[in-house]
Amino acid sequence: LLIVMEKGASLTIVETHAAASGLRNIGAEIVLRTNSQLSHIVVGRKAEGVRVETFAVKAARDARYNAHFANFGARLSRSDITVALEGEGSEARISGVSALGGETHADVTTHVIHAVGHTQSTQLFKKAAAGKSRAVYQGRVTVNEGANGSDSRQAAKGILLGERAEIDLKPELIIFADDVKCAHGAAVGDLEAEQLFYLRARGLPEADARNLLIRAFLEDAVLEIADETIRAEVWRDVEAALEAMI
């Protein structure tokens, strides 16, 4: 798939990949010209097969790429996203959520390249894993030499809901410029015992309290979707995945 956004254009794309067996190999090249904006939402429902996705994005001056990847796992699932910010004022906001159960797998690998200065990127990924599932986030940010004024933020958090579940988070920064603002963080853990006790002390059964905390944990990543209608549709998929895995 080739998408070319002309100067000043605006577009919202929602991709929904239904559950399927076999191999699904999806590739897209996206070119954002001056002052264009693309909102890109990708929903991968739980599948028994193998799903591989590759997205390559180039953003010119003042262009914006807003993307959200909701992945509910497959036998093997890999989303590879590369965004090159090639014009001053260009911006990438990438977010995603995964809710995995059984023996499913979901890997999101990103690479944001600040090719010139005065560019901005943010990444926020939240993952919940139960059963024997495995969730992976690998996020690399490269700031090229001379790309002063670049601003990059990465955050990835996971919550383990089973003793045999696995979450691997690996943010990376590669910086060749001096005057930049870059930060990253990653954390994996269980539900907070104090929060769970607080809710149970107020009359909530343990299962309801756990469900409430898991939904609250994932919610801010879904809130990155600006369009309320699309956000509500993605949240319904998240709710369905949580009900199946808990």
Query: pLDDT truncated to tens, each residue of the chain (246 aa)?
Result: 999 999 999 999 999 987 777 898 999 999 999 999 999 999 998 988 999 999 999 999 999 999 999 999 999 999 999 999 999 999 999 999 999 999 999 999 999 999 999 999 999 999 999 999 999 999 999 999 999 999 999 999 999 998 999 999 999 999 999 899 999 999 998 877 788 777 878 878 877 788 888 888 999 999 999 999 999 999 999 998 888 876
> Does residue 100 contact residue 127 with C-beta atoms inside 8 Å?
yes
Three-state helix/strand/coil letters over 11-76: EEEEEEECCCCCEEEEEEEEEECCCCEEEEEEEECCCCCEEEEEEEEEECCCCEEEEEEEECCECE
pLDDT at position 50 is 93
Q: Which tokens hold the place of 123? A: 């990444």
pLDDT score recorded for residue 243: 84
C-alpha to C-alpha distance for 125 and 69, rounded to whole angstroms: 9
Predicted pLDDT of residue 198: 72
pLDDT of residue 207: 77
Of the candidates 131, 65, 60, 61, which has an alpha carbon nearest to the alpha carbon of residue 99? Answer: 131
What pLDDT does 162 receive?
87
| Beta-sheet strand order (sheet of 120-129) | 10-17, 37-44, 64-71, 91-100, 120-129, 151-160, 181-189
Query: Angle at which helices 228-245 and 206-222 pack, to 10 degrees?
Result: 140
